[in-house]
Amino acid sequence: MAKIALITGATSGIGEACAHLFAREHYNLVLTGRRLDRLEKLAKKLNTKYNVEIAVSTFDVRDREQVVSNLEGLPAKWKKVNVLINNAGLSQGLDPINNGSFDDWDTMIDTNVKGLLYVSKVVSNWMIEHKTGHIINIGSIAGKEVYPNGNVYCASKYAVDALNKGMRIDLLPHGIRVTAVHPGAVETEFSEVRFKGDKERAKKVYDGFEPLVAEDIAETIWFAVSRPAHVNINELVVMPTAQATATNILRK
Ligand code: NDP
Ligand code: 8X3
């Protein structure tokens, strides 16, 4: 029977690249995100290309009721999830702490921390019931070091780092693997979202060096998932060659 991967934030960037890669590897997929049109288009494309089964579930990870009702509402066969990729996340703004927006802070904490928790609680219980599973948490270099004006986004990703460690310990008795992947700069919609649609400002983030692409992170995730069952990669920090730290980037 084909394995199942559930991917949050599959409408774009790293999540979408993971959907392609896991479909290529013959996984059936549960694709989630808020933009239904994109999920449906992606599902159709992958189904045609790879002949895999795909369930689409549209919800906002910040909304606890929506998360629980949508996931628990899936038919039983979709709850045998082998791989959960906790990828949905975002940054909003890049401001000093005294100027930050309350709304931006709420959005980042509610999405990156609380959303990840809501999904993880539901799916880890399915994994415990089926005595198998692998949870991939997408952290960030921002969860390993704090950079100027990164404050709350960094705090949310430090929380992901801590939760990854906590999950690893708590799920140990159940044989569930837990891995964090912490990327440096990946060119996706991330910066456009951070700068609220300011494409010019977003483009400048990647000026003068070769950033990672979403497929680089999907391949890294696949490396962790495809290790033999007795191997758990606890965490991986993956950077562009031109980026040594969050702020140390070699630009031409
Ligand atoms: P994108 O903006 O391209 O993708 C973000 C995804 O998250 C989208 O599919 C979006 O779907 C989903 N998402 C955001 N908010 C919500 C929400 N409230 N409910 C449900 N889904 C949501 O960015 P990336 O692919 O780059 O980001 C993926 C992850 O990687 C994030 O956790 C990010 O923090 C992390 N990361 C990114 C890096 C980068 O440089 N790009 C570096 C390090 C980490 P939709 O809008 O349809 O709901
Ligand atoms: C995204 C990478 O450096 O913009 O998590 O925080 S960074």
Whether 224 is covered by a domain: the verdict is: yes
The domain total for the chain is 1
Whether 184 is covered by a domain: the verdict is: yes
Cβ neighbours around 126 below 10 Å, total: 21
The C-alpha atoms of residue 73 and residue 13 are separated, in whole angstroms, by 26
Convert 136-158 to b/e letters by CB count within 10 Å (16 or more is b): bbbbbbbbbeeeeebbbbbbbbb
For the chain, what's the residue count?
A: 252
Amino acid, single-letter form, for residue 35? R
Q: Over the stretch 179-208, which tens digit does the pLDDT of each residue have?
A: 999 999 999 999 999 999 999 999 999 999
φ/ψ of residue 33, rounded to 5? 160, 180
pTM: 0.99
Provide the domain limits for residue 173.
Answer: 4-238
List the residue whose alpha carbon is closest to atom 6 of ligand 1: 9
Whether 216 is covered by a domain: the verdict is: yes
108 lines ligand 1 (CB under 6 A): no
Closest atom, ligand 1, to C-alpha of 211: 40
| Ligand 2 cavity residues, CB under 6 Å | 140-142, 150, 185, 246
Q: Give me the CATH number covering residue 157.
A: 3.40.50.720
Whether 247 is covered by a domain: the verdict is: no
Closest CA to 184 of 244, 112, 116, 233: 244
Task: Please indicate whether residue 14 or residue 1 has the higher confidence score (pLDDT).
Answer: 14
Give percent of the chain above pLDDT 70: 100
Amino acid, single-letter form, for residue 228? P
240 lines ligand 1 (CB under 6 A): no
Q: Over the stretch 121-180, which tens digit does the pLDDT of each residue have?
A: 999 999 999 999 999 999 999 999 999 999 999 999 999 999 999 999 999 999 999 999
3-state secondary structure of 158: helix
Q: pLDDT tier at 1 (50, 70, 90 boundaries)?
A: confident
Whether 195 is covered by a domain: the verdict is: yes
Whether 65 is covered by a domain: the verdict is: yes
Whether 245 is covered by a domain: the verdict is: no
Whether 23 is covered by a domain: the verdict is: yes
Q: Please tell me the number of Cα atoms within 13 Å of 87 on its side-chain side.
A: 28
